[in-house]
């Protein structure tokens, strides 16, 4: 069990995963946390009694973010210095921090992770460009689990998609993933409206919300932190439309709203459905499938999904467009959008 600090568990498994993803410091933090978790009994008990799948609920990354938040606050000088140097006696520093802030960490971990990673916007933009090739019309975005809504502002960012420029070239937020595979076809994307929902939405104008978002950025990836800070600045100037609510309760009203001719309705979700209970996920799947059956060539409907596979061995970017209902496996992606292995819409379809 995870509360046995000598046993493998969510922390050690996640440490191996993040090391493979190029974050050795975060891996060290997680490994030390696994060994020292016994010093934080409330947090250890939370791991041991967690009612759902710890990997799907990103339990290890919740703990990592809590420690990062403490380091950014500077209330534990030894922890802040350890993060600044990205070196030192990990077991001593992490163990002391766990012992001193057990209640804070346990409380922090009860909240669903709020990464709102804008790097994923590159994959979503590429999918929208592909959709534009099928339905040459503006689109309205409806995002599920949108956190602070930063990806609803995706048209305000600049992109380099393997040499193909997209978005706003003057934007201070520049997203250039390592592009693998064939190039995406260059097409303009026109966002007529964008709206999202989150159970616990964050407001970019709120300092506490921004702290939470920054804490979820891995501490050894400063470029991501800088990009997030710039995206938050854009969101403060142009606040995205975000509703508070649960996905299964919000989506029916959005899909039932009138859709005018010449407008493509698009439901988008990135790393969101994994947090839904099985019943709510079935509701969402049924709603999308049912709405797809009513789509027409002049009022098409699409779904863009950026999610882990059920086995959590890869992140797939898929595009489903109605009325034909074909599912396009567009790409395999890095979980935070650092690279995109693009296949395109003409392969792996059904």
Give 43-95 pLDDT, tens digit per residue: 999 999 998 888 888 899 999 999 999 999 999 999 999 999 999 999 999 99
Does 85 map to a domain?
A: yes
Q: What is the DSSP letter of 185?
A: P
Quick one: pLDDT at residue 307? 95
Does 55 map to a domain?
A: yes
Residues 54 and 17 in one domain: yes
Backbone angles phi, psi at 256, to 5 degrees: -80, -15
Mean pLDDT of 102-111: 95
Residues 178 and 277 in one domain: yes
pLDDT tens digits for range 112-151? 887 889 999 999 999 999 999 999 999 999 999 999 999 9
210 three-class SS: helix
Residues 104 and 204 in one domain: no
Does 302 map to a domain?
A: yes
pLDDT tens digits for range 302-338? 999 999 998 888 999 999 999 999 999 999 999 999 9
State the pairing for strand pair 326-333/339-342.
antiparallel
- Is residue 288 predicted with pLDDT exceeding 80? yes
| Structure tokens, 330 | 């567009």
Query: What residues contact residue 150 under an 8 Å CB cut-off, 6+ apart?
Result: 116, 118, 121, 204, 228, 231, 232, 235, 240
Backbone angles phi, psi at 125, to 5 degrees: -60, -40
Mean pLDDT of 13-21: 91
Residues 103 and 146 in one domain: no
Instruction: Tell me how many domains the chain contains.
Output: 2
Mean pLDDT of 336-341: 94
Residues 137 and 34 in one domain: no
Does 126 map to a domain?
A: yes
Which residues does residue 193 pair with via DSSP β-bridges, in sequence order?
A: 140
Residues 99 and 124 in one domain: no
Torsion angle defined by CA atoms of residues 44, 47, 51 and 54, in that order, rounded to the nearest 10 degrees: 180
- Is residue 4 predicted with pLDDT exceeding 60? no
Residues 229 and 284 in one domain: yes
Q: Choose between 269 and 344: higher pLDDT.
A: 269
Does 347 map to a domain?
A: no
Quick one: pLDDT at residue 112? 81
State the pairing for strand pair 178-181/241-244.
unpaired
Torsion angle defined by CA atoms of residues 165, 170, 174 and 175, in that order, rounded to the nearest 10 degrees: -30
Does 39 map to a domain?
A: yes
Does 176 map to a domain?
A: yes
CA angle 126, 62, 235 (to 5 degrees): 45
Does 348 map to a domain?
A: no
Mean pLDDT of 288-302: 96
- Is residue 5 predicted with pLDDT exceeding 80? no
- Is residue 6 predicted with pLDDT exceeding 50? no
pTM: 0.87
pLDDT tens digits for range 210-231? 999 999 999 999 999 999 999 9
- Is residue 349 predicted with pLDDT exceeding 80? no
CA 109 to chain centre: 17
258 CB burial (10 A radius; 0-12, 13-18, 19+): exposed
The sign one gets for the Cα dihedral 301, 333, 167, 203 is positive
| Structure tokens, 276 | 């839904």
Residues 87 and 126 in one domain: no
Determine what percent of the chain is predicted with pLDDT higher than 90. Answer: 86
Residues 333 and 189 in one domain: yes
> pLDDT band at residue 346, thresholds of 50, 70 and 90?
low
Average per-residue pLDDT in the chain? 93
Residues 42 and 166 in one domain: no
Residues 133 and 273 in one domain: yes
Mean pLDDT of 268-290: 93
Boundary residue ending a domain (109, 138, 172): 109
Residues 125 and 260 in one domain: yes
Boundary residue ending a domain (75, 109, 143): 109
Mean pLDDT of 268-295: 93
**In this structure, how many other beta carbons lie within 10 angstroms of the beta carbon of residue 121?**
28
Domain that holds residue 281: 118-342
Quick one: pLDDT at residue 171? 98
Distance from C-alpha of 118 to C-alpha of 109, rounded to nearest angstrom: 22
Quick one: pLDDT at residue 22? 87
Quick one: pLDDT at residue 1? 38
Mean pLDDT of 152-179: 97
Boundary residue ending a domain (43, 78, 109): 109
DSSP secondary structure string, 265-294? Answer: EEEEEES-GGGS-HHHHHHHHHHHHHHHHT
């Amino acid at each position: 069990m995870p509360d046995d600090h000598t046993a493998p568990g969510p922390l050690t498994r996640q440490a191996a995963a993040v090391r493979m993803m190029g974050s050795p410091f975060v891996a060290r933090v997680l490994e030390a946390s696994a060994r020292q978790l016994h010093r934080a009994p409330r947090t250890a008990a939370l791991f041991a009694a967690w009612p759902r799948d710890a990997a799907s609920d990103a339990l290890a990354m919740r703990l990592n973010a809590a420690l990062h938040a403490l380091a950014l606050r500077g209330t534990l000088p030894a922890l802040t210095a350890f993060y600044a140097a990205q070196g030192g006696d990990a077991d001593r520093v992490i163990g002391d921090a766990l012992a001193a802030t057990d209640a804070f960490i346990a409380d922090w971990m009860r909240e669903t992770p709020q990464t709102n990673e804008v790097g994923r916007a590159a994959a979503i933009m590429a999918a929208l460009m592909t959709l534009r090739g099928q339905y040459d019309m503006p689109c309205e975005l409806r995002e599920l689990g949108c956190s602070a809504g930063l990806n609803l502002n995706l048209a305000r960012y600049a992109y380099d998609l393997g040499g193909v420029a997209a978005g706003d070239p003057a934007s201070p937020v520049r997203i250039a993933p390592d592009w693998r595979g064939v190039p995406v076809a260059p097409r303009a994307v026109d966002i007529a409206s964008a709206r999202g929902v989150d159970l616990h939405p964050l407001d970019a104008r709120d300092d506490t919300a921004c702290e939470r978002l920054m804490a979820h950025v891995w501490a050894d990836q400063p470029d991501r932190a800088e990009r997030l800070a710039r995206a938050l600045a854009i969101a403060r100037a142009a606040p995205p439309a975000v509703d508070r609510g649960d996905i299964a309760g919000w989506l029916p009203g959005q899909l039932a709203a009138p859709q005018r001719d010449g407008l493509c309705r698009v439901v988008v979700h990135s790393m969101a459905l994994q947090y839904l209970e099985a019943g709510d996920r079935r509701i969402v799947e049924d709603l999308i499938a049912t709405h797809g059956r009513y789509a027409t060539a002049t009022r098409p409907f699409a779904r863009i999904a950026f999610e882990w596979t059920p086995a959590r061995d890869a992140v797939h970017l898929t595009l489903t467009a109605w009325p034909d209902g074909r599912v396009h496996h567009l790409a395999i992606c890095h979980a935070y959008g650092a690279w995109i292995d693009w296949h395109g819409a003409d392969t792996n379809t059904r």
